[in-house]
Amino acid sequence: MTVLHLADETEAADLAAFLSRLLHYDRSAAVRLQAAGTALAVFGRPPSFEVLAIRAVRLAKPYENGLDITLDVTVSAGELLESVDEAGATAAVPAAVTGPPWAGVLPPRGGWRREPGLPRVAELRALVGAAVAEFRTRTQELTEEARTRAELDRIGRDIWSRTVGETRLPVRAVHAAQSLGFLRAGEGAPEPALFSSGAWLRLRTPYGSVAVRTAGPGTLGGLGALGVSVR
């Protein structure tokens, strides 16, 4: 069994919280783990948002039992969560699973360029709140006959596909960041930053990142549910 030794109890607690939030949106969620040395990246995809969520975890030392250099495996998020020992700051890597399609298309590791125009964290949180309120108002105004899944998705698509300020970042990416606990307002904490690399945009915060592909085929199906998922 491969055992990850996390840097401290806080890292273990943050990893457990991230996995719990992913499982809130998908009880059968999988995560892809990539690590080298003492840096671990945990990738997940909450289905309601159609983004990739990335949580960076600091390790105290690389690995036990056979893995000396790198780790790259897709596992069950639920099984990984069960293995997290917060007091001991360890996590056992579960057996590999057949990865979902998104696990094979991750953002590039390099070539990221800072993008201007991203509002500060307080404005981003207010933007999400206003979008959620708009969704609820518009859906509550629908008659019972008109309240179909197709109409909810249409309204959701209209709201969540809008871009943030003068950037190309869709509002759904900011909503995902807030719902996953990445948009925390803390005194002295660095502000979120926006980066681009090819067709990818990455919203980076001190607590995690959200990446979204801005080009290529894809739909925004199911976005209607986002109107009530903010926590």
Query: What confidence tens digit (pLDDT) does each residue in 17-45 have?
Result: 999 999 999 999 999 999 888 889 999 99
pTM of structure: 0.87
Asked if 52 and 44 count as a contact pair (C-beta separation under 8 A), the reply is: yes
pLDDT of residue 41: 95
Same structural domain for residues 122 and 207? Answer: yes
Residue 176 CA to residue 178 CA, distance in Å, equals 5
- Whether 104 is in a domain gets the answer no
Neighbours of 65 (CB within 10 A): 9
Residue 229 confidence (pLDDT): 35
1 has pLDDT over 80: no
Mean pLDDT of the chain: 88
pLDDT of residue 187: 67
| Mean pLDDT, rounded, for 167-178 | 96
Number of independent structural domains in the chain: 2
pLDDT at 204 over 80: yes
- Which two tokens mark 23? 């499982």
Domain membership flag for residue 105: no
Q: What's the token pair of residue 61?
A: 């030392």
The whole-angstrom distance between residue 168's C-alpha and the CA centroid of its chain comes to 18
Token pair 């809008």 is at which residue? 162
Same domain (yes/no): 14, 86? yes
The pLDDT, as a whole number, for residue 115 is 97
Angle between helices 121-140 and 171-179 (to 10 degrees): 100
Average pLDDT over residues 73-95: 96
Assigned domain for 59 exists:
yes
186 located within any domain: yes
Separation CA 181–CA 183 (nearest Å): 6
Does the pLDDT value for residue 216 go beyond 90? Answer: no
Residue 102 inside a domain? The answer is: no
DSSP secondary structure letters along 10-24: HHHHHHHHHHHHHHH
- Full domain range(s) for residue 17: 3-95
The residue from 95, 124, 151 where one domain ends is: 95
Cα separation of 174 and 171, whole Å?
Answer: 5
**Statement to judge: residues 191 and 138 lie in one domain:** yes
Query: Are 91 and 121 contained in the same domain?
Result: no
